Structure 1
Amino acid sequence: MKGYSIHIGINTTNPDVYNNLPSLKAAVNDAKWWQKYAKGLDYETLLLTDQEAQSGKILSEIEQRAQAMQPGDIILITYSGHGGTLPNEKPSDLDTEPMDQTWCLYDRQLIDDELYEAFKAFKAGTRILIVSDSCHSGTVTKDIETMETPGKINLTEVLIGGIEQSQTSRGFANKKLPAEVEKDILTRDYTSIYVPIQEKFKYESKRSEVKASVKLLAACQDDQSTYDGKEYGLFTGTLNKLFLQDGFSGNAREIIAKIKKYYTYPHPNCFEYGSVIESFDKGFPFTINIENADTLSGYLNPTQTSVKDIVSDNNITTGNVDKNALLLVEFQGEVPQIEEGDQIKIIKQKGTRFTLEALHIPYEQGWTAAHALKLRLKQSGYTATVEPILSFSPADDQKITRASNGNDEYITEWPPALDNPKVKIGWHLDDQHSQLSAAAQKVMAKTGSYVTVGHLDTGYLPGHIGLPEKLRTDKEKNFVTGKDETENQAHDKIDSGNDGHGLGTLCLLAGNNVPLSSTFDEFQGYIGGVPIADVIPMRISDSVVILNTENFCDAIDYSLEQGCEVVTMSMAGKPSPRMAKAVNKAYEAGLVIVSAASNCWYAGFFKTLLPKCVLYPAAFHRVIAATGAMYNQQPYDKDFLNTAKGDFTKYMQGSWGPPSSMTRALAAYTPNTPWAEHGNKFVRSGGGTSSATPQIAAAAALWIAYHRDELEAKGYYQPGQQWKKIEAVRYALYTSAAKASAFKDWQKYYGNGILRAMDALSIGVPDESLLSKSPEAESSFGGITQILGSFFKNRKLFRDTNTLKPE
């Protein structure tokens, strides 16, 4: 088998032909890189750049190789340069495309029909692989004035316009043939040069009678633009990284699917036609020597595979298909009449707020899409906040944090299994730990004690023996949209593969009086920390591994409407402006928010998934961040384990730091706390800061219920003064927390110490002279950079002993 390659790169075209078309910077570099890459794969290469790359020369070289190639051989043709279009004169029954696509060669445009005609000369059993780093449409990006009519916008055009503008500002030049150049060519040369060429193919169907197996990897869709860069074009530079740095070697379709991980726009595509060679389809398409290279198994009708096609292909199993970006758009003032276009789907609308799905843009690039949309809307005269709804692995997942699949024992790597394996389930409630059992009894004994707590999680499983006595099913609410979802049921969808996380945290918060039979005959009594509470369950996510910021904010609003005084959420994630706004609103209204600090992994596949730091909203100073302390009072951190590590599923640990995020933190107990299972029982292996969070929320609720009269007497329920109730709660919890007597380096890992709920009750309501208003929650770009940087660069920031400002 032999491999031949032709590499075409055109920075500068003939100025007489293209009306002094501005030169590109990277097209020749693209061709040279491809030639070097092909040589490394043992191709016999030819490089044609600028004046060398003329239509007659290129067609002649292709013809020569068609004659030389035998079944099993392959030719690689790469092109980088401007792209254009010409009117398509074919009858509609032969070709439905209104325009012919072209490569802008030095002397003239090469029409796609000419390439298809050249490909007919290749024998059956040969392979043709084309990589085209160009674009075709000179009119796809219109000025904002022509793109929209007054009072009406097309969201797809707005988004793409913003992305293209952003690409230009980053130094990328559009490779489209400008409209004025196309117009000049049509006026001057179309009749004399291009019509005679098109007449030859007017009654021939494109790609018909091509016996070779052909694959085209194109930089963008026919109605999109791609970009020239400083060193390489966007498409070629990405393939460079994909092949050389990442070592990716998937098939043609998988390559196209993988590229979307690297940039937001445009969307590359893959054309396939001609004969079918299965090993060519399944393997890395650039490989010369493949099995059964000359064996044909059929003929492929001309097809185009875009990213949209790929994500619905059941044969793709490499994990390339992820969630699309979700955007939250809220208009201030006039709301225009909105059309979706073909790249945007409106999922939900509530007043001036729209939840959008940006089709084919991965959620990892949600901020890019949000920025582009906001910028272009502003240029259109509309003021709107735009932010991504972020999907993120924040706290923990049943499959990787609790050995719960039939395992009733403690997680062996962590205390108390290491220190005292005979410790009974429910140890976290005792007087040597959280003191929640004693505190709950004291509050329950006080006549008239009451409090309402909002539980934000994945919902709950009806009928479990540990559900709170005062579970307010009449007020439960579901903020998750989708199939089979009902607004008034906060039921976890355990049968659909979800993890039952909400049931576990709900029972730790306010679990019922459970019998010995449900706890291995070891514990009888209230399994939850605040059994007197009215608990309103709110389903804000399908799974704990997704924190939907929009649903969190809606749940905070609902909690305020329903009179909740505490909310608990065992999830965490990235900040957003709307999240900050919701936290500030809750703080001013006296709603205590307790949120998990987050977890991370110290080994195994998940090690690089999460940063070791406090995430949001826990990192906001107006929120109590829940961190973890073990049975032995030491930090929930692998550095305090004195044992060999086993299965990677136990490698999760708590997160803490940087110091600036620990000023409002408090620890409670984990791992190996009780965890409610859907089999109507409990296991010993609860873990993660998910277990710590409801303990702290329970203590806050108990303190409010016990000191309600004094809080009211001091005016802390009066409008404008309600933030003082939050600070009073925190004053009591922080002041009473176990500190150096429990662990000498408590401030670094716990912030304000370890929860002691009974001791907190003994602290009365502080005078306002002892209370200070916490700084407002803000979501700046710096804060986002701080978090995102920790994902991808493993920065020192989160392990430094000094407080650092976000970059």
Structure 2
Amino acid sequence: MVKKAVLIGINYPGTEGELRGCVNDVKRMHRCLVDRFGFSEENITELIDTDKSKIQPTGKNIRQALSELVGSANPGDVLFVHYSGHGVRLPPETGEDDDTGFDECIVPCDMNNITDDEIREIVDKVPEDCSITIVSDSCHSGGLIDATKEQIGESTKKAGKAVKTIEEIEQEERRNGVHVVNRSLSLESMINMLKQETRKDDIEVGSIRRSLLHAFGEDASPKVQETEGLKAVTKKQVVRKKDKGILLSGCQTDQTSGDVRTKGQAYGAFSDAIQIILDETKGKKITNKELVLGVRELLEYEWYPQQPGLYCSDSNADAPFIC
């Protein structure tokens, strides 16, 4: 059995969507994988955008890293992915269907978005007798593995939004010097950042996918390539005897995840809560369900509005986190 991981942290420095805690989340998870779960350094791939000597988390590089992670796996291997960065929801443009009505995406540093459909395709390539755990500390991360059973959460039930938003909490108080911003990109901000990245000024709502194709060509999302020409795309319902994907999401599809800044430190509220709960177990095994429920309780106690979710098969819900 080999344990392999891909860790992605994107702070988007110098942009209107700049975050502070994402790379810190990755560094912290890296140490956790080595110290607690016995991962070897050579089997952990990091993609971060605050150090130009490291692999940059572009859309192309993230796709390649995930493809290599799954493509090199053998039955019995342990696969793990941690993503900290922006999330975005793209509304339908070409008549495609989705269980949440949107494409949930993670946002690489070059804006070459990776959709929930792509994550699903990657998960489906995982070998038998092998699973892949994905932690996504990003906005709209619920349901990021398309068509996965919702064990904890309300995303596919199209529930209403949380009672309080991060913005409302900010207006109420700064909580002992804690500053919280969300890890969500509005369509307007995403378009502005895409314009900055591609130096094209003719990008607008309603033609985002076409603009992504023109900007990134064959490196764009396969769905983006498929929808060029306004072809309708209908998702195929695939019967899976055992879904090999395990998603721990920082929030529901219609919620935002917090990027927290306090006393010179920055981190994701979800990533931080995971580490706190793991520390409390003192090395004992904890199931995916127990971890998500513990994180939910902790974030609710701290008055964060986000509600983490768990998406996986019944057997994987009760399986130990990671290994």
**Structure-2-length-normalised TM-score:** 0.71
Following superposition of structure 1 onto structure 2, how do residues 96-495 of structure 1 map, counting pairs within 5 Å?
A: 96-108=99-111, 109-136=113-140, 159-160=164-165, 162-163=168-169, 165-166=171-172, 170-182=178-190, 184=192, 187=204, 189-193=208-212, 197-198=223-224, 200=226, 202-205=233-236, 213-230=244-261, 231-247=266-282, 249-264=285-300, 265-273=305-313, 278=315, 280-287=316-323
In the alignment, structure 2 segments of 5+ residues that lack a partner are 142-159, 195-202, 214-220, 228-232
Q: Quick one: which amino acid aligns to residue 210 of structure 2?
A: T
Distance 1:88-1:251 versus aligned 2 partners, 3 A rule = farther
User: Is the CA contact 1:136–1:177 (under 8 Å) kept in the aligned structure 2?
Assistant: no
* SS of corresponding position for 1:222: coil
Whether 1:39 aligns to 2:53 is no
What is the Cα deviation at residue 197 of structure 1? 3.0
| RMSD (Å) for aligned C-alpha atoms | 3.0
Corresponding residue for residue 48 of structure 1: 47
Distance 1:206-1:175 versus aligned 2 partners, 3 A rule = farther
User: Is the CA contact 1:88–1:97 (under 8 Å) kept in the aligned structure 2?
Assistant: no
Q: Quick one: which amino acid aligns to residue 268 of structure 2?
A: G
What is the Cα deviation at residue 67 of structure 1? 2.2
User: Is the CA contact 2:180–2:258 (under 8 Å) kept in the aligned structure 1?
Assistant: yes
What is the Cα deviation at residue 168 of structure 1? 6.0
Q: Quick one: which amino acid aligns to residue 279 of structure 2?
A: L
Q: Deviations over 1:665-706 (max 9, x none)?
A: xxxxxxxxxxxxxxxxxxxxxxxxxxxxxxxxxxxxxxxxxx
Distance 1:98-1:33 versus aligned 2 partners, 3 A rule = same
Distance 1:203-1:196 versus aligned 2 partners, 3 A rule = same
What is the Cα deviation at residue 183 of structure 1? 5.1
CA distance in 2, matches of 1:237, 1:245: 13
Whether 1:87 aligns to 2:123 is no
User: Is the CA contact 1:5–1:45 (under 8 Å) kept in the aligned structure 2?
Assistant: yes
User: Is the CA contact 1:218–1:270 (under 8 Å) kept in the aligned structure 2?
Assistant: yes
CA distance in 2, matches of 1:271, 1:89: 26
Corresponding residue for residue 30 of structure 1: 25
CA distance in 1, matches of 2:8, 2:173: 24
CA distance in 1, matches of 2:240, 2:225: 18
Distance 1:180-1:91 versus aligned 2 partners, 3 A rule = closer
CA distance in 1, matches of 2:95, 2:239: 15
Q: Deviations over 1:607-659 (max 9, x none)?
A: xxxxxxxxxxxxxxxxxxxxxxxxxxxxxxxxxxxxxxxxxxxxxxxxxxxxx
CA distance in 1, matches of 2:310, 2:12: 27
User: Is the CA contact 2:9–2:48 (under 8 Å) kept in the aligned structure 1?
Assistant: yes
User: Is the CA contact 2:58–2:109 (under 8 Å) kept in the aligned structure 1?
Assistant: yes
* SS of corresponding position for 2:65: helix
Relative contact order, higher structure (CA 8 A, sep 6+): 2
Q: Quick one: which amino acid aligns to residue 62 of structure 1?
A: L
User: Is the CA contact 1:116–1:207 (under 8 Å) kept in the aligned structure 2?
Assistant: no
User: Is the CA contact 1:89–1:198 (under 8 Å) kept in the aligned structure 2?
Assistant: no
Percent of matched pairs sharing the same residue: 24
CA distance in 2, matches of 1:246, 1:166: 33
Q: Deviations over 1:35-82 (max 9, x none)?
A: 111122122211110161111112112222222211111210000011
Aligned residues, how many? Answer: 260
CA distance in 2, matches of 1:214, 1:253: 14
CA distance in 2, matches of 1:99, 1:211: 25
CA distance in 2, matches of 1:211, 1:9: 30
